[in-house]
Amino acid sequence: MRIYDISQEIFSGAIFKGDPVPAPTPLHLIKNGSPYNLSSVSMSLHSATHIDAPSHYIEDGLSVDQISLESCIGPCMVLSANGPIDEGLISPLLGRGTKRLLFKGKGWLTLKAARALSESEVVLVGTESQTVGHAAQIDEVHCILLEKNLVILEGLVLQDVPEGNYYLAALPLKFGGMDGSPCRAVLLDYLPALD
- Name the residues annotated as catalytic: 56
Neighbours of 83 (CB within 10 A): 11
- Any bridge partners for residue 3, and if so which? 188
Identify the CA nearest to 50 among candidates 158, 172, 188: 172
Report how far residue 74's alpha carbon sits from residue 85's, in angstroms, rounded to the nearest whole number.
23
* Cβ atoms of residues 130 and 106 within 8 Å: no
Q: Could you tell me whether strands 83-85 and 100-104 are parallel, antiparallel, or unpaired per DSSP bridges?
A: unpaired
Report how far residue 40's alpha carbon sits from residue 26's, in angstroms, rounded to the nearest whole number.
6
Torsion of CA 179, 185, 189, 195, to 10 degrees: -60
Report how far residue 127's alpha carbon sits from residue 103's, in angstroms, rounded to the nearest whole number.
5
